Amino acid sequence: MSFIGQTQYDHQGQSPRTGVLLTNLGTPDEPTAPALRRYLREFLSDPRVVEVPRLLWWLILNLFILPFRPARSARLYAAIWREDGSPLMRITRSQAHKLQQRLDASPGADVVPVVMGMRYGNPSLAGALQQLSEMNVRNIIVLPLYPQYCGATTGSTFDALSQHLQQVRWVPGLTFINGYHQHPAYIDALCNSIRAHIAAHGMPDRFILSYHGTPQAYLEKGDPYSCFCQQTSRLVREQLGLEESRLTTTFQSRFGREPWLQPYTDVTLQALPAEGVRQVAVLCPGFAADCLETLEEIEVENRDLFIASGGESFHYIPCLNDADEHIDLLHQLVQENLSPAANRN
C-alpha cells in the first residue's frame, strides 16, 4: 500500500500551524442532469445516508432513481442558480472568507488558515485536507456546519475524513466539532433572527421550525438527531418567551416509503388553516446556509401548500447564512477549540 506524503516538507525548519476545515453537505457542479447524476450517485451511495442492504440499494439507485430524478432536480436547481454557483456554495464560500477575516483580526493571534470542503462534490474534503497540508497545517479543527449531530451528516463527514487520512503518511491532529445545537451563541442568533422578523412583519399565529428529516428507524437505532432538534426548538421557544402552542417543530425532505421523523412539515402546513392558523413564519434551524431544501422546498412548494389549504400569510425566515452574528458563532466555536489544538504543536 502506498501513502500520500510531502516530499518537499522540511520537518525541522517550519513551525507547524493550526487550521480550520469548514465543511457542509455539498452541491452539484452545475444545474444539469449529468452533474446531478454524479452528485446524487455519490450522495445516495453513502451507507450512512441510506441504510439498506447494499445490493438491493444498488439496484434501486441505478434502475429507479438515477435514470429519472437528476433531470427533475436539475430543473429545481436551475431556478435558484446564479453565475457564481448554487446558494449553498456561494454562502459557504462567504462564511469561510468572513471567518478567515475574523480569525486574522483576533488580537495577537497566529495565522489560522480556513479552508472549505464539501462532503459530496467539489471542493472535496480530500482536496481541502491536501490544501491544509501544503500550508504546513499539522492540527486541524474540523467544523461541520450541522448544528444538530446526525450520523447521516456529521458522522458521514467523520467517515470521509478518516477514509482519506488512512492513506496519509503523516496524519494531522484533529479536533472534530460534532455539533452545537445548544450553544448559547447559536440559540441567540436564531432568536435574534426571529425577533427581527417579528419587528418587520409582526407576530404570526404560529412559528414552524422545520428540520431536515431522517428515517424514524435511525432514531430507534440510537441516533440522537431528533432529540437534539427538539432541544434546539425548546431553547428558542423559552428564550423568546413563547407558549408551546405558538411554536411547532416539524421535519421536511422525506424520501421513500418508510416512516420518517414526524410531524412532517408539508402535512402540518396543509392542516394548520383548518385549525384556525392562517399566518405562519417558517425557520429552518438545522441548515447553516440556504439551499434547495429551504429556497425551493420550503419557500416555494410548502408556501403553495399552505396558501392552497386556506392560509393567508406565509413568511420564510432565511437561514443564518453569512450574517455577522453567525460568523461570530463560528468564530467562537473555533476559538473554544483553538487552544487545545495549538497546544499540540
Q: According to the model, what pLDDT value does residue 342 have? A: 47
Tell me the CATH number at 331. 3.40.50.1400
Distance CA 291, CA 132 (A): 27
Residue 87 and residue 164 share a domain: yes
128-145 burial, b at 16+ Cβ within 10 Å, e below that, comes to bbbbbbeeebbbbbbbbb
Residue 313 and residue 263 share a domain: yes
CB atoms within 10 A of CB 296: 18
Q: According to the model, what pLDDT value does residue 236 have? A: 98
Distance CA 237, CA 95 (A): 27
Residue 253 and residue 109 share a domain: no
Between the alpha carbon of residue 101 and those of residues 145, 278, 305, the distances in Å are 18, 43, 41
6 falls within a domain: no
Residue 139 and residue 26 share a domain: yes
pLDDT tens for the chain, 345 residues long, are 666 666 555 555 567 899 999 999 999 999 999 999 999 999 999 999 999 999 999 999 999 999 999 999 999 999 999 999 999 999 999 999 999 999 999 887 789 999 999 999 999 999 999 999 999 999 999 999 999 999 999 999 999 999 999 999 999 999 999 999 999 999 999 999 999 999 999 999 999 999 999 999 999 999 999 999 999 999 999 999 999 999 999 999 999 889 999 999 999 999 999 999 999 999 999 999 999 999 999 999 999 999 999 999 999 999 999 999 999 999 999 999 986 544 444
Exposed, middle or buried, 297 (CB in 10 Å: 0-12/13-18/19+)? buried
3 falls within a domain: no
271 falls within a domain: yes
Residue 171 and residue 25 share a domain: yes
Give the closest residue to 174 by CA, choosing from 3, 5, 344, 4.
344
Q: According to the model, what pLDDT value does residue 107 have? A: 81
8 falls within a domain: no
Q: According to the model, what pLDDT value does residue 3 have? A: 62
Q: According to the model, what pLDDT value does residue 290 have? A: 98
Residue 170 and residue 250 share a domain: no
Residue 152 and residue 199 share a domain: no
Give the closest residue to 92 by CA, choosing from 157, 27, 155, 141.
27
Residue 130 and residue 194 share a domain: no
Residue 191 and residue 144 share a domain: no
Residue 246 and residue 206 share a domain: yes
Residue 127 and residue 65 share a domain: yes
Which segments of 283-323 does DSSP mark as H helices, in order?
292, 303-308
Give the closest residue to 342 by CA, choosing from 139, 171, 178, 142.
139
4 falls within a domain: no
C-alpha cell at 175: 479536533
Task: State which residues form the domain around 61.
Answer: 17-180+324-342
Q: Do residues 233 and 257 make contact, with C-beta atoms less than 8 angstroms apart?
A: no
102 falls within a domain: yes
Residue 193 and residue 109 share a domain: no
Q: How many domains does the chain have?
A: 2
